[in-house]
Amino acid sequence: MRGRWRGVKYDFDWSVLWSGESGGWLLQGILTTLEISALAWLLAVALGILSGAMRTVPFAPLRAIATFYVEFFRNVPILVWMFFWYFGVPPLLPHAIRDWLFNHGAEFWAGMFALGVYHGARMSEVIRSGIQSIPKTQFEASMAMGLTVWQAYWLVIVPVALRLIVPPATNESLNLLKNSSVALTISVAELTFQTRQIETYTAKAIEALTAGTLIYLVLCVSIAIIMARIERRFAIPGLIARVGAG
Amino acid sequence: MLDFGVVLSNFKFLIVQGFLGVGSFGGGTLRLAIPAIVLGFLLGIFIGLARLANVAWIRFPATIYVEFFRGVPLVMVIFWFWFIIPQLLQLPIPEYGVALTAFVIFEAAYFGEIVRAGVQSVPRGQAEAATAVGLRGSQTLRFVVLPQALRNMIPSLVTQIIVLFKDTSLASIIGYVDLTKAAQIVNNREIRPFELYLFIAVVYWICTYSMSRYARRLERRLAHA
């Protein structure tokens, strides 16, 4: 196929996407993207719940630690965090740990950590707004029934908050998936990296980028559809589950 | 072991060249961020209004535009423009042009959603009243709906501006010498990654955090008005 526009010639050759090693590279890329995103997501949710809850407890030092974490980590570009965790931190670690890391895909772990810590801070704001939208009387009632602060959060506040925040949390999870593409800068072989690799080997930029772009669109749309079902399943009857993302 | 002197001895390069963009490399985080914010928002107004149009052939392309760009990573979009613009125009385009185009077009999708939500937050009666007192459609939009919408948009607008400001660091991937790239250049010579990347993290943080503080003040003031 040959396209012509204003005298610009470009020979399309879509077979570069499956001939040679390209197909395997794309598949590897998808798997790595999903893997790094899933692990980072778990870390982000754990950090988000912990720090989001900490920002609402009636104990100032805990609030201060959580506020520092959230305000510092979410306000710095993810790319800077990637460089920081990959280039900046390992030289400060003890020799044995550093050697182990570089023998076990340090770029993957640094990228995962950067994504998880950054999005944990952003997730934290989503979870905090969820917690703060729960009437204070819920907490007071839990206290009156003799629960400890920990129990009140773990058994009453957090479960309700998580059900309220499905839409903004979905949005944030999709941001995480998209931001995993930044990991190509520290040479994690994820989807964007593999797209670039196909482009480098075949000099077919449009085909390679089209493939990568479509795969991202499909991933994002499928996750959005799954989450919409989860949202319906877990919506609390009588509560309008629309909480603004911090 | 740690030596923050490296930051001081390269302070001028990092800030004047990398952050402000004054020097032989061109570049500059601010020189990219400010036009990207202004142009992206202007394009976003059109996209947002187009999504609310009564005519399907205006509304439909705008919806596709927004949904497409919100489903694709910015890095991907930057690579698209990096390959496509020079090929279409048959001229070498400097990184600045590529990065600015990519940012404006990508962020306009997000700004468009904010504008749409802002316009939808203005009660319908306002537009009806404006029509009733005899304003034309464009006048209603300009003098009645948009000013009120803008006020409602401010919180999410500032959030998006902060996101865009942070995103400009991605221009370094195609070789644009912004603050992040400047730190990389210095690091190649000095091999002090921890100190340098922590320093630029703090510079980014000062900018974004002061923006969000200012936004909170502004919101409070507008809430009283």
CA distance A97 to A86: 14
What residue ranges of chain B have pLDDT lower than 70? 224-225
| Residue A204 forms part of a structural domain | yes
Q: Do B201 and A84 touch (CB under 8 A)?
A: yes
pLDDT at A243 over 80: no
In this structure, what token pair is assigned to residue B95?
């990184």
Residue type, B156: S
pLDDT of residue B193: 94
How deeply is B160 buried, as exposed, middle or buried, from its count of CB atoms within 10 A (0-12, 13-18, 19+)?
buried
Q: Tell me, yes or no, if A234 comes closer than 8 A to chain B by beta carbon.
A: no
Could you tell me the CA-to-CA distances from B65 to A44, B69, B107 in Å, in that order? Answer: 30, 6, 11
Could you tell me the CA-to-CA distances from A184 to A55, A192, B73, B206 in Å, in that order? Answer: 33, 7, 12, 27
Q: Tell me, yes or no, if B222 comes closer than 8 A to chain A by beta carbon.
A: no
Q: Do B201 and A71 touch (CB under 8 A)?
A: no
Q: Do B170 and A182 touch (CB under 8 A)?
A: yes
Residue type, B12: K
- Residue B36 has phi, psi (to 5 degrees) of -65, -40
Report the number of distinct structural domains present in chain A.
1
pLDDT of residue A245: 37
- How close does chain B come to A145, measured CA to CA in Å? 37
For residue A196, the chain B residue with the least C-alpha distance is B79
> Measuring CA to CA, which residue among A82, A171, A74 is closest to residue B165?
A74
Q: Tell me, yes or no, if A37 comes closer than 8 A to chain B by beta carbon.
A: no
| Residue A99 forms part of a structural domain | no
Q: Hey, which CATH number is domain B39-165, 3.20.20.70, 3.90.1150.110, 1.10.8.60, 1.10.3720.10?
A: 1.10.3720.10
Residue pLDDT, tens place only, A87-118: 999 989 999 999 998 888 899 999 999 999 99
> Measuring CA to CA, which residue among B154, B163, B165, B198 is closest to residue B34?
B165
Residue pLDDT, tens place only, A126-172: 999 999 888 889 999 999 999 998 999 999 998 988 888 988 999 99
pLDDT of residue A12: 84
Could you tell me the CA-to-CA distances from A172 to A48, A52, A119, A168 in Å, in that order? Answer: 11, 14, 8, 6
Q: Tell me, yes or no, if B90 comes closer than 8 A to chain A by beta carbon.
A: yes
H/E element holding A149? helix A149-151
CA distance A131 to A133: 5
Interface size between A and B, measured as CB pairs under 8 A:
114
- Predicted TM-score of the model (pTM): 0.90
CA distance A85 to A62: 25
**CA atoms B12, B18, B23, B28: torsion sign:** negative
Q: Do A206 and B74 touch (CB under 8 A)?
A: no
CA distance A163 to B22: 50
Mean pLDDT score, A18-43: 93
Residue pLDDT, tens place only, B55-111: 999 999 999 999 999 999 999 999 999 988 888 888 888 899 999 999 999 999 999
> Measuring CA to CA, which residue among B114, B116, B127, B118 is closest to residue B151?
B118
pLDDT of residue A3: 56
Q: Tell me, yes or no, if A102 comes closer than 8 A to chain B by beta carbon.
A: no
The ipTM (two decimal places) reads 0.91
Q: Tell me, yes or no, if A83 comes closer than 8 A to chain B by beta carbon.
A: yes
**CATH number, residue A155:** 1.10.3720.10
For residue A175, the chain B residue with the least C-alpha distance is B73
| Residue A243 forms part of a structural domain | no
Q: Do B80 and A192 touch (CB under 8 A)?
A: no
Q: What DSSP line would sit under A36-89, residue for residue? A: HHHHHHHHHHHHHHHHHHHTTSS-HHHHHHHHHHHHHHHTS-HHHHHHIIIIIS
| Residue A21 forms part of a structural domain | yes
- How close does chain B come to A235, measured CA to CA in Å? 23
Q: Which residues contact B47 (CB under 8 A, 6 or more apart)?
A: B62, B65, B66, B108, B109, B111, B112, B115
| Residue A27 forms part of a structural domain | yes
Q: Do B166 and A209 touch (CB under 8 A)?
A: no
Across the interface, of B72, B90, B169, the residue whose CB is closest to A80 is B169
CA distance B176 to B135: 47
| Residue A141 forms part of a structural domain | yes
- For residue B208, the chain A residues in CB contact (below 8 A) are 75-76
Question: Worst-scoring range by mean pLDDT, A7-11, A49-53, A72-76, B149-153?
Answer: A7-11
Contact present, B113 and B66 (Cβ < 8 Å): yes
Q: Tell me, yes or no, if A192 comes closer than 8 A to chain B by beta carbon.
A: yes
In this structure, what token pair is assigned to residue A102?
């570089």
Residue pLDDT, tens place only, A218-228: 999 999 999 88
pLDDT at A122 over 90: yes
Beta bridge mates, A4: A9
| Residue A43 forms part of a structural domain | yes
> Measuring CA to CA, which residue among A51, A58, A99, A106 is closest to residue A74?
A51
Where in the sequence is the domain holding A219, given as residue range(s)?
Answer: 2-75+116-234
Residue extents of the structural domains in chain B: 1-28+177-225, 39-165
Q: Do A75 and B173 touch (CB under 8 A)?
A: no
Contact present, B192 and B6 (Cβ < 8 Å): yes
pLDDT of residue A239: 62
Q: Tell me, yes or no, if A196 comes closer than 8 A to chain B by beta carbon.
A: yes
CB atoms within 10 A of CB A104: 9
pLDDT of residue B219: 80
| Residue A98 forms part of a structural domain | no
E strand map for chain B: none
Beta bridge mates, A10: A3
Q: With bands split at pLDDT 50, 70 and 90, how would you rate the model's confidence at A2?
A: low
